């Protein structure tokens, strides 16, 4: 067979090859999940997420918590008016949900305080933060992991407040919100190169602006504001952030791994448990509050 015949056969083959099919156009959900993966995950994990991305189950935990917090706020502000539209009032301070040092033997208060907020600006800030960050995180990591991080921040916040600010009451979901922020912040820092440097810098700046504004407002309300009413501790912000930077980072960095088999997770849980035990013993035997 001559080279001319081979060329003709090759040309015939090429002419009769079926053209490659164009990939199907991306739907709105595809674009949404792509955006979520870009914000929440380093580049080497995005394809894995997109292959199995769906909204089943939907972000039930963060939505349920947000609805519960909003319902409690409306109850005290509308059906049981306590001037909660503006700031914390005596009625809120007497709520069975608020953490009150003198009633710390009622153990549920160390968790339930997250449902009560000191004014409309307080709850709006917390809801915006936890919905904007919590929903994408829960889509990626699912509700049981988000719930673990969030509640670890809430409990850690109240226990830390009982030690470092023992005379003050505590309200708001800032401990849980800051746990989510702390875990996400650590992921951005550790995976900075994989999250595109400019984009990573933008994320860090956004987090710092939001946290700086919220903490600044908390400090103002704690030390400067002359508004009448009981003072509220802000220690939960920092304790929640620390919980997120340890437990939260470990949980969020195990997107495609079995969390139970990660030794970092058990180290964080052991350290957190030691803190909880110490805080409980402090409240029983060493607290200056009777």
Q: Which of 91, 66, 65, 67 is nearest to 77 (CA)?
A: 91
Backbone angles phi, psi at 169, to 5 degrees: -75, 175
Backbone angles phi, psi at 187, to 5 degrees: -65, -40
137, containing H or E segment: helix 120-141
Cα 242 to Cα 237: distance, rounded to the nearest angstrom:
9
Q: Which of 101, 241, 112 is nearest to 172 (CA)?
A: 112
Is the separation of the CB atoms in 203 and 124 below 8 Å? no
Question: Helix count (H) and strand count (E) of the chain?
Answer: 13, 0
Radius of gyration of the chain (CA): 25
Cα 39 to Cα 21: distance, rounded to the nearest angstrom:
30
Cα 112 to Cα 99: distance, rounded to the nearest angstrom:
8
CA dihedral 248, 231, 284, 289 (to 10 degrees): 160
Residue in 37, 66, 158, 174 annotated catalytic: 174
Q: 237 catalytic, yes or no? A: yes
Is the separation of the CB atoms in 153 and 244 below 8 Å? yes
Q: 174 catalytic, yes or no? A: yes
Residue in 117, 237, 246, 253 annotated catalytic: 237
Q: Which of 48, 46, 44, 43 is nearest to 197 (CA)?
A: 43
Where in the sequence numbering do the catalytic residues fall?
174, 237
């Amino acid at each position: 067979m001559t080279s001319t015949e081979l060329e003709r056969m090759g040309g015939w083959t090429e002419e009769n090859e079926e053209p490659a099919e164009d990939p199907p156009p991306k739907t709105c959900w595809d674009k949404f999940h792509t955006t979520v993966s870009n914000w929440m995950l380093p580049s080497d994990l995005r394809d894995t997420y997109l292959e199995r991305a769906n909204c089943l189950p939907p972000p039930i935990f963060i939505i349920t918590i947000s609805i519960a917090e909003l319902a409690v706020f409306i109850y005290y502000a509308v059906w049981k008016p306590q001037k909660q539209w503006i700031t914390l009032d005596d009625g809120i301070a007497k709520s069975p949900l608020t953490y009150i040092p003198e009633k710390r033997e009622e153990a549920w208060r160390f968790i339930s305080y997250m449902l009560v907020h000191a004014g409309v600006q307080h709850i709006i800030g917390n809801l915006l933060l936890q919905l904007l960050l919590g929903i994408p995180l829960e889509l990626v990591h699912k509700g049981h992991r988000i719930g673990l991080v969030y509640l670890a921040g809430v409990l850690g916040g109240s226990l830390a407040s009982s030690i470092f600010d023992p005379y003050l009451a505590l309200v708001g979901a800032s401990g849980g919100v800051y746990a989510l922020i702390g875990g996400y912040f650590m992921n951005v820092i550790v995976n900075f190169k994989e999250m595109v440097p400019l984009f990573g810098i933008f994320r860090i700046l956004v987090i710092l602006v939001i946290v700086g504004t919220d903490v600044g407002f908390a400090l103002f309300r704690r030390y400067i504001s002359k508004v009448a009413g009981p003072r509220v501790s802000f220690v939960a912000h920092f304790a929640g952030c620390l919980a997120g930077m340890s437990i939260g980072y470990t949980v969020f960095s195990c997107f495609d791994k079995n969390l139970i088999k990660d030794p970092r997770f058990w180290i964080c849980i052991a350290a957190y448990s030691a803190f909880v035990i110490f805080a409980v013993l402090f409240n029983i035997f060493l607290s200056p509050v009777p």
